[in-house]
């Protein structure tokens, strides 16, 4: 909140709270509700293995949280994003959920691939003179982009001392701008989710998956902002209820004053 010092909460605790309360302590209930909603619009989803569905949705949720956390801290001082990715890998391994960590890697790679496709699409849609398309110039631009990517990957590799974590974090960092401005990453994540389930969704189901992706990302961002502002999700929820009640009471008082002012003066 503006003008209010943020309560101190560690990155590890914030991540743990989110994974515990929003993913693992739901006991798969949320995932099954989503599955039921997909069935309503595309009955072919009945062939999906529900255990795989739960694993994949958790993995997608975790990767979207990582994006939300990076977006919250980027650009800024380096550090929180490194802590998040290291903690996430450790947390899932300790939980015996290495399969979810592995699955999240597919969504991470999709984000980077979609960012590259989005960048190419945007670059080639801009009118340029014939000289732009000369081989040497194109080679120079591609080489420069590759050098930047390699530099970022090398930076995080040194900071994290874990090539897998470094690669995933670099993919996110390189994709921040594309994620903020475009639709392609959203579409590709939804498609990857369906492919991982061996599911060919109809248009309604695909739109539902895209809405789901947006919703999970928004939930992660809302959670992060709430915890940063209030110290915990529960306190943020209580503050929202208190604010709503205060506004309701203020509205009632205004109505009462209005009613009193409308009454004619008695002689």
Contact call for residues 75 and 157 (beta carbons, < 8 A): no
Is 55 exposed, middle or buried, given 0-12, 13-18 or 19+ CB atoms closer than 10 A?
A: buried
Which residue has 């502002």 as its token pair? 229
Instruction: Quote the tokens at residue 147.
Output: 């050098």
pLDDT digits (tens, 9 = 90+) for 112-138: 998 888 777 665 544 545 444 555 544
Contact 66, 74 (CB under 8 A): no
- Give alpha helix (H) positions in the chain: 11-18, 29-41, 50-73, 80-94, 98-125, 135-160, 163-181, 184-196, 203-230, 233-262
> Alpha helices of 50-134 — where are they, by DSSP H?
50-73, 80-94, 98-125
Q: In this predicted structure, what is the pLDDT of residue 230?
A: 79
Average pLDDT over residues 211-224: 92
Per-residue model confidence as pLDDT tens digits over 229-261? 877 666 666 655 655 666 666 666 666 666 666
What is the Cα–Cα distance from 63 to 236, expressed in whole angstroms? Answer: 24
Distance (Å, whole) CA 234 – CA 154: 39
> Tens of pLDDT along 218-227?
999 999 988 8
Angle of helix 203-230 relative to helix 50-73, nearest 10 degrees, comes to: 50
Tell which residue, 28, 10, 30, 169, has the closest CA to residue 89.
169
User: Would you state the pLDDT for residue 119?
Assistant: 73
Query: Could you read off the pLDDT of 13-37 as tens digits, one per residue?
Result: 999 999 998 899 877 788 889 999 9
């Amino acid at each position: 909140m503006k003008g209010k010092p943020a309560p101190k909460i560690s990155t590890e605790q914030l991540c743990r709270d989110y994974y515990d309360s929003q993913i693992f302590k739901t006991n798969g209930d949320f995932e099954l509700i989503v599955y039921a909603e997909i069935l309503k619009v595309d009955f072919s989803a009945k062939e999906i293995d529900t255990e795989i569905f739960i694993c994949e949705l958790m993995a997608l949720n975790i990767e979207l949280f990582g994006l939300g956390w990076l977006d919250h801290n980027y650009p800024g001082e380096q550090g929180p994003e490194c802590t998040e990715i290291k903690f996430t890998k450790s947390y899932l391994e300790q939980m015996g959920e290495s399969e979810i960590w592995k699955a999240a890697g597919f969504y991470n790679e999709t984000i980077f691939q979609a960012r590259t496709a989005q960048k190419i699409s945007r670059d080639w849609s801009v009118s340029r003179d014939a000289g732009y398309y000369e081989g040497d110039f194109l080679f120079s631009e591609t080489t420069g982009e590759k050098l930047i990517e390699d530099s970022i990957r090398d930076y995080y590799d040194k900071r994290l001392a874990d090539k897998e974590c470094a690669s995933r974090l670099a993919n996110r960092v390189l994709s921040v701008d594309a994620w903020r401005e475009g639709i392609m990453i959203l579409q590709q994540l939804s498609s990857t989710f369906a492919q991982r389930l061996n599911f060919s969704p109809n248009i309604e189901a695909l739109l539902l998956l895209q809405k789901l992706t947006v919703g999970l990302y928004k939930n992660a961002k809302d959670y992060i902002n709430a915890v940063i502002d209030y110290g915990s999700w529960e306190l943020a929820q209580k503050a929202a209820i208190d604010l709503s009640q205060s506004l309701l009471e203020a509205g009632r008082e205004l109505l009462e004053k209005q009613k009193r002012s409308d009454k004619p003066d008695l002689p």
